[in-house]
């Protein structure tokens, strides 16, 4: 198991090729704007953002594994730490922390210390139901699904809605055992 | 010393007003506000020609009406900040324009704001009025 | 000169999604390569079940008289394997490079559909370069 | 709780200082996002021309904002009023900020007076993208063409902007040329300004 300390994520981020965050932020903004125009309903936009995140997540997980060189996590706790300390840092250059564990260790909160997606954003009255960063929840859900973890991810705090932080609740629904392709009953 | 009469508008690239405010200390009068906006709109043609003769954004006073003066600031994207006023305070006006310009950029950068649409944020309005009290 | 004979990529359901021949001595047609892929997928899975140690991740190296087969399976279940001349060194490094190229030029390509055969020019170009580089490095030793 | 002390309290976007443009994210994060932009738009269209138009529209939204931001932040509130000025602004300032480097070249079209070309050996957005054979000459650089058009149009230089692959001698990969064809009114104004 590679060390998942905060500096480990920093070291990876320092070594990957980087681009100006404004290009990223404005491109994401253009996507949200397109969805608002195409789909009209804020609820539909939330769904589509989550779906797009999922599509990214199922691809991005391999990049994460290839470039971070981490091996299989022993449990969900370690997985959550890995997402927060290495994942967010490696891709977005920001730190996140894991909090609010439940008793059986299957549900926690990931709190973002910074969030490049929202740099210029203010939700007008007409978009109050929008989860602007919903792509992030989809990314985590998709990525974890590829390593056999079914999760449910919801925003519990959103600064664009007046909260004091961005916090995602990650709930492990079930850990799918690795499939042996030849079952006896087939 | 605050200007007694001042009317401020922001006009989009397509000549549509996207924000208006009467910011003078004089008592607000409906008919005066209409006249002020009429004068400002009439000055748009002058701005249109002048804007291409200089790379500066602050065009200073470009037109007058009786004792009222029209000062204009043209942004890179040809959004025009226009002020009708009776004061003679170029530096204050310039600072006012520059700070409103920055507020406008922040508004524009918001992906949810459609460029050229009306600025409806009450926070924007509050901040512009505060800047007017500070500089005009 | 040590040589790589061929490269295979198999998706997590055992489908061959990429195959490249770098000059094997025995000619293989498409059917042969598909057969090798599905056979390897099964053997790899069976080896995990057969292994006396728990948490076994499947066969990493198969040594035969006429070839070596080096396999790398990502945690997401995609398998990459190269068939090479017996005794060829550093194939695990090469497989890791290939995995990275796959994450760059396949997974970031909007026109690539997940789990489907890989048809990406840039992946081919960069793969060829990586394998050439590998050969040069071997010659230099 | 770790990290909570670093959280910034909620502030309205108008009260926060304007971005200095120094922050970075990984190229991969952008590449995955861009790939998803292309994939989403593919689901919204029937043909390639339509896909190009939609990517261009997305880029336009970026360009219109970038013009206003960069003239203020990087150009000290100077507007570009001349054709060569705005072209060099796109080729240098915009490219440097968005793509981390000045564009490889800016040339005037040889056949038409109203055409200019900005070329890049490897456009950042195309770094990981291979175009399938059945998509012909389609180029995801349409997004960048849209950014360029957004900058030019907003600055008062309306133009038709398109992205093309151009094969290069001795190179395995074609370069991308962003072709800019200015509207007649732009050239007339240039002539007037002398």
Query: Can you name the residues that pair with D25 across neighbouring β-strands?
Result: A19
Find the chain D residues whose C-beta atoms sit closer than 8 A to any C-beta of B: 12-14, 16, 18-19, 61, 64-65, 67-72, 75, 77-81, 85, 154-156, 189, 193
pLDDT over 50 at D190, yes or no: yes
Give the per-residue pLDDT at D21. Answer: 85
In a domain, D17, yes or no: no
Q: Identify which of D35, D131, D132 has the shortest CB distance to residue C108.
A: D35
B abuts A (3+ Cβ pairs < 8 Å) = yes
Q: Hey, which chains touch D, using 3+ CB pairs under 8 Å?
A: A, B, C
With H, G, I as helix, E, B as strand and everything else as coil, classify residue C38: helix
Average pLDDT over residues B23-51: 83
Does the distance separating the beta carbons of C104 and D130 come in below 8 Å? no
**Least confident residue range of B77-81, C53-57, D45-49, D178-182:** C53-57
Q: Which domain holds residue D115?
A: 27-193
Q: Which CATH architecture has domain C4-140?
A: 2-Layer Sandwich (3.30)
Query: Can you name the residues that pair with D96 across neighbouring β-strands?
Result: none
Give the per-residue pLDDT at B50. Answer: 93
What are the DSSP calls for chain B, one per residue? ---SSEEEEEE-TTS-EEEEEE-SSSPP-HHHHHHHHHHHHHTHHHHHHHTTT-SBSEEEEEEEETTEEEEEEE-TT--EEEEEES---HHHHHHHHHHHHHHHHHHHHSTTSPTTS----HHHHHHHHHHHHHH-
Hey, what domains does chain B have and what are their CATH numbers? 6-135 (3.30.450.70)
pLDDT over 70 at B1, yes or no: no
In a domain, D3, yes or no: no
Q: Which residues of B touch D68 (CB under 8 A)?
A: 75-77, 79, 104-105, 108-109
Q: Give the H or E element holding residue C102.
A: helix C91-105
Does the distance separating the beta carbons of C74 and A62 come in below 8 Å? yes
* A185: confidence class by pLDDT, cuts 50, 70, 90: very low
pLDDT by residue (tens digit) across C35-52?
Answer: 989 999 999 999 988 888
Give the per-residue pLDDT at D2. Answer: 43
In a domain, D150, yes or no: yes
Q: Identify which of B55, B98, B109 has the shortest CB distance to residue D69.
A: B109
Any idea which residue has 């992205």 for tokens? D163
Give the per-residue pLDDT at C25. Answer: 61
Alpha carbons C72 and D109: distance in angstroms, whole number:
51
Give the per-residue pLDDT at D1. Answer: 42
pLDDT over 60 at A182, yes or no: no
Q: Which residues of A touch B127 (CB under 8 A)?
A: none
What pTM, to 2 d.p., does this model score?
A: 0.94
- Chain A and chain B share a number of CB contacts under 8 A equal to 31
pLDDT by residue (tens digit) across C66-121?
Answer: 999 999 999 999 999 999 999 988 899 999 999 999 999 999 999 999 999 999 99
Give the per-residue pLDDT at B27. Answer: 62
A abuts C (3+ Cβ pairs < 8 Å) = yes
Give the per-residue pLDDT at A133. Answer: 97
Looking at chain C from residue 80 to 99, which residues have their Cβ under 8 Å from any Cβ of chain D? Answer: none
Q: Give ipTM to 2 decimals.
A: 0.93
In a domain, D4, yes or no: no
Tell me the nearest-neighbour CA distance from C47 into chain D, angstroms. Answer: 35
Find the residue in D nearest to B128 (Cα): D14
pLDDT over 90 at A73, yes or no: no
Q: Identify which of B109, B114, B121 has the shortest CB distance to residue A120.
A: B109
pLDDT over 90 at C31, yes or no: no
Best mutation target, A46, A122, A135, to test chain B (most B CBs within 10 A): A122
The CATH code of domain A6-175 reads 3.30.1380.20
The alpha-helical segments, DSSP class H, found in chain A are: 6-15, 21-39, 42-68, 76-82, 88-92, 134-146
Give the per-residue pLDDT at B2. Answer: 57
In a domain, D18, yes or no: no
Cα torsion through D185, D186, D189, D194, rounded to 10: -140
Going from the C-alpha of C121 to that of each of C94, C108, D113, D144, D172, the distances in angstroms are 19, 13, 36, 22, 10
More confident residue, D2 or A133: A133
Average pLDDT, chain B: 90
* B30: confidence class by pLDDT, cuts 50, 70, 90: confident
Give the per-residue pLDDT at B24. Answer: 75
Q: Identify which of B51, B53, B106 has the shortest CB distance to residue D14.
A: B106
pLDDT over 50 at D5, yes or no: no
Q: Hey, which chains touch B, using 3+ CB pairs under 8 Å?
A: A, D
Give the per-residue pLDDT at C63. Answer: 94
Give the per-residue pLDDT at D12. Answer: 84
**Residue B50 near chain D (CB below 8 Å):** no
Number of H helices, E strands in chain A: 6, 5
How many C-beta atoms surround the C-beta of residue C78 within 10 A? 21
More confident residue, B31 or C110: C110
pLDDT over 90 at B128, yes or no: yes
pLDDT over 50 at A2, yes or no: no
pLDDT by residue (tens digit) across D121-138?
Answer: 999 999 999 999 999 999
What's phi and psi for D70, nearest 5 deg? -75, -35
Q: Which residues of C touch A61 (CB under 8 A)?
A: 76
pLDDT by residue (tens digit) across D34-53?
Answer: 999 999 999 999 999 999 99
Average pLDDT, chain A: 90
* D6: confidence class by pLDDT, cuts 50, 70, 90: low
Does the distance separating the beta carbons of A26 and B111 come in below 8 Å? yes
Alpha-carbon torsion A76, A80, A81, A87, what sign? positive
* B73: confidence class by pLDDT, cuts 50, 70, 90: very high
In a domain, D1, yes or no: no
Q: Hey, which chains touch A, using 3+ CB pairs under 8 Å?
A: B, C, D
pLDDT by residue (tens digit) across A103-153?
Answer: 999 999 999 988 999 989 999 988 989 999 999 999 999 999 999 999 999
pLDDT over 80 at A55, yes or no: yes
pLDDT over 50 at A79, yes or no: yes
Print burial letters for B110-135: b (CB count within 10 Å at least 16), e (below 16).
bbbbebeeebebeebeebbeebbeeb
Average pLDDT, chain D: 93
Tell me the nearest-neighbour CA distance from B73 into chain A, angstroms. Answer: 23
Q: Greatest CA span in chain B, whole angstroms?
A: 42
* C26: confidence class by pLDDT, cuts 50, 70, 90: low
For position D151, which CATH number holds? Answer: 3.30.1380.20
Q: Hey, which chains touch C, using 3+ CB pairs under 8 Å?
A: A, D
Best mutation target, A27, A116, A118, A120, to test chain B (most B CBs within 10 A): A120
Give the per-residue pLDDT at A132. Answer: 97
**pLDDT above 70 as % of chain A:** 91
Q: Which of B25-29, B30-34, C55-59, D179-183 has the highest mean pLDDT?
A: D179-183
Which of B13, A44, C29, B98 shows the shortest CA–CA distance to D71? B98
Any idea which residue has 């530096």 for tokens? B91
Q: Identify which of B52, B108, B110 has the shortest CB distance to residue D68.
A: B108
Average pLDDT over residues B80-101: 92
pLDDT over 90 at A6, yes or no: no
pLDDT by residue (tens digit) across D81-132?
Answer: 999 999 999 999 999 999 999 999 999 998 999 999 999 999 999 999 999 9
pLDDT by residue (tens digit) across A157-179?
Answer: 999 998 989 999 999 998 877 65
In a domain, D13, yes or no: no
Average pLDDT over residues A52-74: 93
In a domain, D9, yes or no: no
pLDDT by residue (tens digit) across D145-168?
Answer: 999 999 999 999 999 999 999 999
| Tally of domains in chain D | 1
């Amino acid at each position: 198991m590679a060390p998942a300390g905060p500096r480990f994520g920093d070291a990876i981020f320092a070594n990957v090729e980087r681009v100006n965050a404004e290009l990223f932020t404005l491109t994401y903004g253009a996507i949200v704007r397109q969805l608002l125009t195409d789909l009209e309903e804020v609820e539909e936009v939330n769904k589509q953002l989550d779906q797009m995140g999922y599509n990214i997540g199922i691809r991005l997980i391999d990049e994460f594994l290839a470039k971070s060189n981490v091996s299989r996590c022993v449990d969900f706790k370690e997985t959550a730490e890995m997402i927060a300390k290495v994942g967010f840092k490696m891709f977005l250059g920001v730190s996140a922390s894991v909090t609010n564990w439940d008793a059986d260790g299957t549900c926690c909160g990931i709190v973002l210390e910074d969030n490049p997606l929202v740099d210029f954003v203010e939700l007008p009255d007409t978009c109050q139901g929008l989860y602007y960063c919903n792509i992030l929840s989809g990314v985590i859900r998709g990525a974890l699904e590829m390593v056999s973890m079914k999760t449910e991810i919801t925003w519990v705090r959103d600064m664009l809605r007046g909260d004091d932080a961005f916090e995602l609740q990650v709930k492990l629904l079930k850990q799918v055992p690795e499939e042996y392709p030849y079952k006896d009953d087939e | 010393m605050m200007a007694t009469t001042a009317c401020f508008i922001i006009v989009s690239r397509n000549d549509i007003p996207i924000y208006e405010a009467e910011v003078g200390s004089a008592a607000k009068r409906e008919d005066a506000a209409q006249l002020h906006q009429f004068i400002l709109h009439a000055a748009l043609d002058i701005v249109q020609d002048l804007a291409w003769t200089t790379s500066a954004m602050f065009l200073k006073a470009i037109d007058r009406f009786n004792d009222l003066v029209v000062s204009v600031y043209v942004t890179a994207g040809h959004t025009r900040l226009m002020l009708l006023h009776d004061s003679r305070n170029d530096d204050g006006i310039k600072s006012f324009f520059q700070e409103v310009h920055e507020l406008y950029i922040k508004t524009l950068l918001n992906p949810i704001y459609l460029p050229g649409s009306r600025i409806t944020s009450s926070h924007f309005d509050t901040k512009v009025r505060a800047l007017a009290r500070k500089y005009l | 000169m040590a040589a790589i004979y061929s490269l295979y990529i198999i998706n997590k359901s055992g489908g061959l999604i990429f195959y490249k021949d770098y000059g094997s001595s025995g000619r293989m047609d498409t059917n042969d390569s598909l057969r090798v892929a599905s056979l390897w997928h099964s053997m790899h899975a069976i080896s995990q079940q057969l292994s006396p140690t728990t948490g076994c991740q499947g066969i990493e190296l198969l040594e035969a008289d006429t070839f070596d087969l080096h396999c790398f399976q990502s945690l997401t279940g995609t398998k990459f394997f190269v068939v090479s001349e017996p005794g060829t060194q550093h194939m695990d490094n090469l497989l890791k490079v290939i995995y990275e190229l796959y994450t760059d030029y396949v997974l970031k390509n909007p026109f690539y559909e997940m789990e489907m055969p890989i048809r990406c020019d840039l992946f081919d170009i960069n793969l060829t370069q990586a394998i050439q580089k590998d050969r040069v490095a071997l010659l230099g030793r | 709780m770790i990290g909570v002390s670093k959280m910034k309290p909620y502030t309205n976007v108008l009260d926060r200082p304007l971005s200095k443009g120094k922050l970075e994210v990984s190229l991969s994060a952008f590449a995955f996002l861009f790939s998803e932009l292309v994939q989403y738009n593919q689901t919204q269209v029937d043909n390639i021309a339509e896909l190009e138009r939609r990517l261009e529209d997305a880029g336009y939204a970026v360009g219109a904002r970038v013009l206003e931001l960069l003239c203020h932040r990087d150009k000290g509130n100077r507007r570009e009023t001349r054709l060569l000025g705005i072209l060099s602004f796109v080729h240098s300032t915009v490219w440097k900020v968005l793509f981390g480097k000045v564009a490889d070249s800016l040339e005037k079209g040889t056949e038409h007076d109203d055409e200019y070309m900005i070329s890049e050996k490897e456009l950042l957005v195309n770094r990981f993208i291979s175009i399938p054979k059945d998509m012909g000459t389609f180029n995801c650089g349409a997004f960048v063409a849209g950014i360029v058009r957004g900058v030019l149009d907003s600055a008062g230089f309306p133009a038709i902007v398109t992205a093309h692959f151009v094969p290069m001698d001795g190179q395995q990969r074609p370069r991308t040329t962003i072709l800019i064809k200015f509207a007649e009114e732009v050239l007339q104004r240039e002539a007037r300004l002398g």
